[in-house]
Structure 1
Amino acid sequence: MTGRRIVSIWFPRFAMDRWRKAHADTDDGLPVALASEAAHGTVIDAVSEAARKAGAKAGQKVTDARAIYPDLVVEASDPGGDANALMRLCKWARRWSPWTALDGADGLLLDSQGTAHLFGGEAAMLADMNNRLRRLGFASRIAIAPTIGGAWALAHFGDRSGIIIDDDALDGALAPLPIESLRINADTALLLRRLGLKTIGDLIDIPALSLARRFRKTPDATTNPLRRLEQARGRIEEVAEPLVPQTVYRAAQRVAEPVLHVQILAPILADLADDLCKALEDGGRGLRRVRFEAFRVDGHIAALHAETAAPVRTPDHICRLFAERLETLDAGFGFDAFALTAIWHDAMPARQKGLAEDEAEGLALPHLIDRLSVRIGVGKVRRAVAYASHIPERSVVWRPALEEQPGVAAMQAPRRERPIRLFDRPEPITVIYGTPEGPPKRFRWRRKLHDVIKVEGPERIAPEWWRERSSVRLRDYYKIEDEDGRRFWIYRNGLIDDGRGGPPDWFLHGLFA
């Protein structure tokens, strides 16, 4: 989980509430619709409660609505005024948190971590929000949860306003909500409903890999239910832009004479890295993505980018990331200005091993990954990532080391010994002698004959029916030891007369020593 406390405030009738405030002398029972011109006529943007009961709704053409209810009063929408009013509310909401952000055209987001106690707790704070907004003339639904997606879903689709959910209860609170609460578009929601997936709980029960295959080519988050689900559950970090922009960490330097030789760039880069790291240290941050820019006198900007596997603010390491690529820059008529910018940075509290040591423990491996990625290419440095599969060769996949890993949870590791070396693809073995339902007594692997002395097993692993064809056979794994003391992990693929093929095949999948 993220450890955050996100408050989502939704104004279900924001535009109409504004219109009501501006026309306080208007009868509350008057059916009013706010409309604007569209490509194919005038379309309703918002309706009053009386107009809704009469059959009018947002998105409907005015001519269709008046055909149902001729006495409908139509007024012009004011989207610009609505946007300005929501911006003012966003600034006004800083009374509860310094971190506030706009959420579409009818909502606000607040990060209340560390501020709720000032109002007597989260329940008291939400009650204060609701009362103050009601006195301002705005109906609202409010929820607080550890994630942006979770808070949004509960505010828009929860059974009441003022829902407060902790980390442990988030999945249970989201499960009964409709899939539309994942902030996906209508076409994606319709597709999922046709597949029988009507609630978030239905989606949680589907293996993540199956969803990833189906929606891997979707262009954005609103068409990718897996990404939205993982964001709502806190498996993937979701970022919202606060009203107060995030601090930009940037170091810049100008030179008196244009630099024509790239060899001179190294000391300039070192000075910029020192300045940038000092600023990052003061802010308790460490960079994850950095850009070095060299500005030519003719207006051209030469830029180099680098990413890191962990937050970094060590000047020497930053310089090493660019050292071998400085020669690729074309100086042209000369560079007269330079800048080093932390494009992406994360929290990095100060750590120190001892009084005489600056390097924090555990940074050697990330630094090695960074340097290898720069030297041989980002896609050629990979790391193992756990995947949700109990089939041994599928339980681990390899991803670029600098890539943010998707929030696909691994299945719980079995409490059984696994081989030190596991083959990517099991290798077939020839059983010379064996019992029909047990392990072999003798087998041949890589042209060498092995006599089995000790056996432990079987461990049965069934096929993944949601991914496999119906003809895939189950496996019985055995740990065996031969006459030379070598230990192997072998399995029988299938059973006799299981209806899924001929006689079972045998494979060697790993070596214990």
Structure 2
Amino acid sequence: MAGLPLPQAGEAKKAELPSVVVAKDHNAILLHAVDEAAVRAGLSIGLPLANARAICPELTVYDADPAADLKTLNDIADWCDRFTPLVALDAPYGLFLDITGCAHLFGGERALLQIVTGALSRRGFAVSAAIAGTSIAARTLTRTASGKIVADGEEAAAVGPLPVSALGADAAVTTGLRRAGLKTIGDVASRAPHEISARFGAAFTTLLGHALGQGDAPISPRKPLPDYIVEKRFPEPVATDTVIALTLSSLAKMLVAAMDKQGKGARQLEASFFRTDGAVRAIMVETGRPVTRPEMIDRLFRERLDALNDPLDPGFGFDLIRLAAGRTEIVVQQQRDLDATIHDNDELSALIDRIAARIGGKRVVVYLPLESHVPERSALALPAQHHLAAAGAAAWPERVAGEPPLRPLRLFERPEPIKVPFATVPDGPPHQFTWRRAQHDVVRVEGPERIAMEWWKQDGASLTRDYFRVEDAEGQRFWIFRDGLYESELRDEDGKPVPANWYVHGLFA
């Protein structure tokens, strides 16, 4: 039977050295966190680093990293989502888990507490946890009575013997309580509330009442509670694509069945994959119309999974897969047998949803007209999933039958400069121009069309543009403009006229 290698003497000695984390506070470097060896050496949080080095010269010092601490706390919160969807941060180091109605799924409150603390301890975290009827009572117990489970109505008896420091109040309040001879929470609770409020403020009185089970402070979950949740737990981790796909399909059927009972469809769906090593991967898709068919949900997630830049990595396997409908709507029943327009709209909406699932919803846009005569500001691009109906009812200017289009089919987001060697002045078009290093000889011209800019937004730029529809010798048609009026009196250093600035703004079909 093979055994683990024992640490060498030097390694054991190094492991016993106290370690602390320091942070700067009011231009002083103070101890921010200490390990058990540092506590045995007489160090405590808040002690200046210079004093700590005097007490323990062999001290190992690390700089605090609040950003990394917050990321780790959020990662742990993601992992805790497998136990309850109501997980809230209690910064800087705590979490609240509302396990109402969830504990029986894990064998009861005691079993759930052991599962959570045991899993985190195996990953190297020092964990202190407790269960109580109020969040403040549970947090108070974690500071001095880890592992305790308190039934509803017994919070006062449970926290009464604890020191006043367990309440987590300001240091000035805790010091004032001790100087007044109130060393335990029970001592403070024995005084009349108006006496405590007069001396230590209403905020502390409220905190004390919540710790005693007299009301509770609401917690703010990190994520809004979905409208519907279905999930599948596996006795053994799964890692194959086939099992994952089959699981998503079965969950989609369960989700649709639950929504159908209330006549609703999903507009936002999220699939969460919980790995055995604690990592969590969430994939979200949105739809333009409420989805009521499981095969559509299955297809959307297949499109999304196939298009991931970072493929879904099961690692050692998933032990939980969850499908949630974050936003739902009531499905309006329509007569679909005789109205072909409704079928066309449904197919278009389904196509947009599939494309959005693959490349992202913000990349599939529709254009709505705006009241502006400036070409680049006369249309607004919006996500097609949410504005498809508005785009269908938009009133665009109608084209005159038999006449060429006034605006190009393709309009550039920003006009691109072109080189014009000469043009008919003062208001004439160019006879030749160079765009993207290609020369174009103009053979046909329509214009000019003068468009005045919005003078209150120009900030010193030109206020007029003269647009021309031009065609070159190869049959290509361009929409070009001269920026500003032609100033023939302007001359360069050699005495030659300074040409106006020309741009190409779009291409006709």
TM norm structure 2: 0.42
Larger Rg: 2
Q: Could you tell me the TM-score, scaled by structure 1's length?
A: 0.41
